[in-house]
Structures are given as C-alpha cells and as structure tokens.
Amino acid sequence: MNPLLESITSPLPLFDKILPEHVLPALDDVLQKQRESLQTLTAQEKPNWQTLIEPLEEMDEELSRVWGPVTHLNAVCDSEDLRKVYQEGVQKTSAWFTELAQNEALYAGLKYVESHQSDSLNNEQKELLRQNIRDFKLSGAELTGDAKKRFKEVRLRLSELATSFEQHVLDATRAFTLTISNEGDLAGLPDSARESAAQRAKEVDKEGWLFTLDMPSYLPMMQYSEKAELREKMYRAYCTRATSGNLDNSPVIDELLALRQEIAQLLSFEHYGDYSIATKMADNGAEVTTFLRELAAKSRNMAKQEVQELRNFAKEHLGIDDLQAWDIPFVSEKLRIHTYAISQEELKPYFPEANVVAGMFTLVEKMYGIQIREGNAKLWHKHAKYFEIFDTANKKIAAFYVDPYARAHKRGGAWMDECLVRWQKPDGDLQLPVAYLVCNFGAPIGDKPALWTHDEVMTLFHEFGHGLHHMLTEVKTRGVSGINGVPWDAVELPSQFMENFCWEREVLDLFAKHYETGATIPEDMFQRMTAAKNFQSGMQMLRQIEFSLFDFLLHSECQSNGEQSVQGLLDQVRQEISVITPPSFNKFQNSFSHIFAGGYGAGYYSYKWAEVLSADAYAAFEEEGISSLSTAARFRKEILSIGGSKDIMDGFIAFRGRKPNVDALLKHSGITS
C-alpha cells in the first residue's frame, strides 16, 4: 500500500517508506475522494455543524496527512525526483484549495449554519465558523464569472511562483562553494570553523577547507576571517543569490507582486497590504507604518552612535579607513571582544547540544508541569529525533520531532511546522498535536559534540516556543487549535517570549556547562555576556524595521501607484531608515524568502509587533519572578492554550492586565529615546 495513504490512519507519518513515486498517486487519490465528498456535503438543504463543518475538518485532516509529510520532506531532504513531484503537487493542492474556497454552495452552507445554528455552538466553533466565512470572502467566494475564474488562475500561479522563488534561493545557495587550500588563508578563523570546513571538504572528497553560504559556514567567515578579499567574495556571493541566469528571482518578484495586487483588487481592496491586514491584529496599514516609523525614530540616535563607534574602532584599531559592508561583521566582532571581552566562540564550549536540549526541556517541564521523553518514530534522517510530552498524571499530551543540523539538500533557516493538530474527532477520539522543529546548526565534529553559539541556543528556544504554542493548546476544534487561526502578527509572541530565558543566570545554569569539564559559565564571563546583550541593538532594530517597512510599502504604496521599481523602493526605505547603506550590488530582496515564499508578504512587521508583545509578556515574569509558577500557569492558560479560538489581544490583556506597549521592548533592547 502507498505509505502516504497509510499515513492517513497511522499514528505518525511513515518516513522510512515514503518515496517520490508515492506522492502524486496518493495525492490524486485523496483529492478525488475529497471532490466526491464535497459534492455530497454541498447537496444538503439544511446543513449543520455535524453534517457540514465536522466532515470538512475530517477532509482537512486527511489531506494534511498526505501532503504534510511531502511538504516537510521537500524542506529537509530535497532531491531532484522529489522536487519534480512536489512542484506538480503544489499545483494540484493550490487548485483544490482555490476550488474549495470558491465553491458557492459550500459558502452558502457555511452561512446557513451561521444563521441557523450559531446560538448552539461553543466559542471555539463560533470562531472557526467566523474565520471560515471571512477566509471564503478573501478567497474569492463572492466573485462571479470571469473574475472568479481569473482569481483561481492567479492563486494557482502565485503558488508556483512561491515554490520557484524558494528553489532558486536553495539552488543558488548550493551552487557557491569556496575551497581554500592554503592554510594561511584561514587566518583569524577559530578552530571550530576550521574543523567544520575540513570535515565539509572531506565529505565531498576535496582537499583543504570548504566553505558554503549556509549560515554555520558563512557567518564565521564573515566574523573572523582576517582576509578582506575572502570576506568580500563570500559577501558578494551571499547577497547576490538568485540574481542571474535561470535562477534570477527578479522576474519572479515582479510577476508575484503584480498578481498579488490583482488578487487584492479583484476583492475590492486598494492594495495587497490591505488584503493582508484583513486577517491580522492591526486595524489598517497606516497603523503598521506608523508603528514602524515611531520605533525607528526611537532607535535612530542609538544606531547612529553605534555606527560612529564602529567606524572609529575600525580606523583606530584595525587600520580600516573606508568601512565596507563585508567588513561590518568582522569589525563588529572585534569591537565586541574589545569592549566586552566576549565572543560567540568563547561561549560555544558551554553550549553542547545534549546539555542545551536537556536544560531547555527542564525549564519548560518546571514552568508548565510537563515531562518530556525521547520516543520511537520513523525518521527521515539519522540526525532527527522524536520526543513525547506527558502531563503530571503521566498522560501523553503531545509529541515533536527535532532536526537540528545544517546539511546539503536542506532548506536554510529554522522553523516550526505542524505534523498533527490537536482536535476532537467526530468519533470522540482526541488526536494529540505533533510538531516539527527544524534548525540549521553546526553538527558534531569528529569526537566533539555539537557546540552551539548563544545565538543558536536562542534560535532553538525560539522555535520551541512556537512548538509549545502548537502542543500546549487545549482547543478541540481543529481549525482554531494550536497555531491555527492565530493572527499572523501574533504568532511570533510565544517564540520570541522564550528567547528571553536564554539571558537568565538561573536558566543558563541548567544547561550552560562546559562540554569537557562540566563547569557552568564563570560569573565574570556571564557578566560580560549580559553586558554585551544589547551590543548594536539600535542597528539591529533599524535593520529589521527596514525589512518590515520595505515589505509593507512594497505591497501597498508601491503596488498602488505602479510606478516605482522594487529596487527603487528599497533604496528609498534605506534612505529613510538605515544608518548604513549596503552597496548597490546587494540584492537581498532576491533571497527574501519570508515575504516571497514564506507567507510573510505584507506581514514581516509581525516580528517587530510580536517583539512588543513578547517583551511586555516577559516583563510580567521579571516583575513576579522568573521562576514564578503562577505566572507561567497564567501565560499557558491565557496565551498558549487558546490557539486561535479567541482574540489574542483579549488573551494578552487577561494575562497582563492591560494592553501591550513598547516600553518593555525598548528597555530590553537598551534603547532610551
């Protein structure tokens, strides 16, 4: 039997059996059955929750069980054979979702349930119904004739473009390698970076040291290499990915933006920014741009001072009179060490993988009264692991996979995704949530364990925060369970919240122990580390605001007038926001996967808004005690458990006792305006 079809009823995906040739037959099978089921559902004269919504939830689950593992494998085990069927599968699923969302009879059925049964539904069910009807409108359900047909065509093409964009970035990243044969060219690089590069070269039967554009390889080169020409070569390769030949994303971006604008206008929105806001916490686009510009204004003076300090240090201590873009990470790291006598490399021995993971588990076990144990499951790679979560009564409540290391044929970055969603099935059984946690950290080298930077530790905590949001939900209605139904500009709240614990001494002592001696971080090192916490935080704040404002204006003002180019807008935003202007050849937009392939189009500002929410939420722990179990219980109840079943602002107010403000974020960032 096809293992993807088996996955519909199996407890977990059968990753040891799934092959590319299984994808399209399984997908065709399930889509055919769904189309038949839809005909039956929409033939009802008087549908209700049990005869319409519950079957739709079951259909959602079945398709997710088949297509979800394929999407996951495409991200973590990319291959030519899988890529080919995945692209075709994207077209099939996109066509189905658009077809489903524009089904007039189904839309009428949902509105019938709303008008005839709403009073008998619980709050979760009411919220799911409200969101479904809203999403139907946003998916063109009320369009007719040629407009409806065109909407469907555009949605399908947008899916294809997003897939192409991401694959171009992946291929361009993979296409570049730098092999060093002269050991003198490794000057400045720490032993860990050298050992990783040597291991990388050995894996592909090359002599010397191999560097790639994957972050565990790229970043050490940029921060530590004393060879400016090598830093420049790496920098140019990184910021010009997907800018030429058949991997050029420029035409993809242009077509994608034009089609997003067309989608918005077909639904009578002025621009795609307004269309995006319709499902978010923000009330309108002006609220978004005002928020970003006010935050930029409060950060600018500090950022200017940081840049001047960087230039002065480069000139006085390193003899660099004309600071170039590829010098900034190098000079910044030198300045950090000079000022605080601390570096990421110095800290790495205190963050061996096993300790970090165990310590993070201990923290959340204590906070939320849970237990985490390694379990058994079929895995897609030898480095992946599977864990299960139990409550105080030793009852299993959730599970998750972890895939921590960077490798070839794996998408860059870090993310959490859902494998299974918590919901009460129509037969009464409760399905438990299962998450994927994927990172791209350094792997073990020889006999050494994987040693991670403090930044990587924070990334792990970040993704686990997403995972807890998905896994600690108490919602039983599938469509608003876990991260489902949560506004995009609030979904980063639990993840960014978790990062804060990585700066607490009592938390670090749980896991920050030297891999050879077992010693905790010495107090003087901890003090230097925390003193350096807000190093260049003004510059970092403006950098993220630059990305956020560029994204939102690109999908609003730029699309409304249709006169400004993508590069022209980016230049304008940089002139307004940035304190350091990148070189003209920097085409970072061509690899900006978040907004062009990752669901953050006109929503990248969500990271900044969620930082406001998370900093303010964490301030409650600072006020009431970092280890306060009552505060943790309240956070779990009002934020983590509710999923998308209630207004997240109401949940925040219930937790905090008031609406959020930016004061805590500015304080945590060391920014005084």
Active-site residue set:
463
Contact indicator for 409, 77 with CB cutoff of 8 Å? yes
Instruction: Name the CA dihedral angle for 67, 68, 71, 76, rounded to a multiple of 10 degrees.
Output: -140
Buried b (16+ CB within 10 A) or exposed e, 377-408: bebbeeebbbbbbbeeeeeebbbbbbbbbbee
Q: Can you tell me the distance from the alpha carbon of 602 to that of 605, in angstroms, rounded to the nearest whole number?
A: 8
Best CA proximity match to 500, nearest among 464, 472, 474: 464
Q: What is the CA radius of gyration of the chain?
A: 25
Best CA proximity match to 364, nearest among 356, 372, 353: 372
Residue type, 186: L
- What single-letter DSSP state applies at residue 445? B
Is beta strand 396-405 parallel, antiparallel or unpaired with respect to 434-441?
Answer: parallel
- Residues in a beta bridge with 212: 177
Q: Residue 387 belongs to what H/E stretch?
A: strand 385-390
Residue type, 144: T
Contact indicator for 420, 410 with CB cutoff of 8 Å? no
Within 396-513, where are the H helices?
454-471, 493-499, 505-511
Q: Residue 528 belongs to what H/E stretch?
A: helix 523-531
Q: Can you tell me the distance from the alpha carbon of 3 to that of 660, in angstroms, rounded to the nearest whole number?
A: 47
Best CA proximity match to 666, nearest among 610, 611, 606, 622: 611
Looking up tokens 């296409």 gives: 175
- Angstrom CA distances, 149 to 107, 127, 141, 142, 156, stand at 17, 29, 11, 12, 11
